[in-house]
């Protein structure tokens, strides 16, 4: 990673994901110090055993704190398309669905757990964990990209894709 010119101010994750049942999938970003943040998970599942949304992932979605409505969250998009494709675009992160979840899930901050990390803290392996919590269908992560912005007058400092990605099962 190039030397930071200041602490991390903002984070964005782009995922090119194909999966025929969005409610099966959970994505979590994990920093080198094991700090993790759920990007989305079990979309539209509002009880423990619920399967969630039967909408599809079929393209690239970016997750960051500046995403504007109507793409404020995957829950709203999945509700709008029913069994169709969630439109590729920009979304806020949410907690995973399940017991006690509300529809739509309120947005969470992707920046909050990582903002202020120094170069030393950010150095190392970042993991994008994508989990398929149900059997019967397959999906795949075609590409993923992690972007950082630093505090102060600087541009993006890290813009490489994740490596060693395996298909989502």
Q: Give the count of domains, the chain.
A: 1
**Whose CA is closest to 53, among 27, 29, 28, 86?**
86
**pLDDT band of 69, cuts 50, 70, 90:** low
Give a yes or no: residue 48 inside a domain. yes
Residues 6+ apart with CB under 8 A from 63: 12, 13, 14, 15, 39, 40, 90, 91, 92, 93, 110
Give a yes or no: residue 111 inside a domain. no
Give a yes or no: residue 91 inside a domain. yes
List, for residues 123-133, the tens digit of each pLDDT value. 889 999 999 98
List, for residues 71-113, the tens digit of each pLDDT value. 558 899 999 999 999 999 999 999 999 999 998 899 999 999 9
Whether the Cβ atoms of residue 35 and residue 80 lie closer than 8 Å to each other: no
Burial of 141 per CB tally in 10 Å (0-12, 13-18, 19+)? buried
**Residue whose pair of structure tokens reads 């757990």 in the numeric block:** 113
How many Cβ atoms from other residues are within 10 Å of residue 112's Cβ?
A: 12
- Could you give the CA distance from residue 82 to residue 19 in angstroms, rounded to a whole number? 15
pTM of the predicted model as reported, rounded to 2 decimal places: 0.86
Give a yes or no: residue 55 inside a domain. yes
Give a yes or no: residue 81 inside a domain. yes
The pLDDT of residue 70 is 56
- Mean pLDDT along residues 137-148: 94
Give a yes or no: residue 118 inside a domain. no
């Amino acid at each position: 990673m190039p030397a930071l010119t200041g602490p991390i101010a903002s984070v964005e994750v782009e995922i090119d994901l194909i999966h025929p049942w969005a409610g099966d999938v959970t994505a979590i970003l994990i920093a080198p110090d094991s700090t993790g943040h759920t990007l989305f998970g079990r979309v539209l599942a509002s009880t423990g055993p619920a399967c969630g949304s039967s909408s599809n992932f079929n393209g690239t979605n970016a997750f960051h704190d500046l995403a504007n409505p109507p793409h404020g969250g995957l829950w709203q998009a999945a509700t709008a398309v029913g069994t169709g494709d969630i439109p590729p675009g920009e979304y806020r992160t949410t907690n995973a669905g399940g017991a006690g979840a509300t529809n739509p899930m309120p947005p969470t901050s992707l920046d909050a757990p990582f903002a202020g990390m120094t170069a030393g803290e950010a150095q190392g392996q970042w993991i994008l964990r994508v989990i398929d919590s149900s059997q019967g269908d397959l999906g795949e992560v075609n590409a993923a990209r992690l972007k950082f912005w630093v505090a102060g007058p600087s541009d993006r400092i890290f813009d490489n894709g994740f490596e060693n990605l395996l298909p989502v099962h």
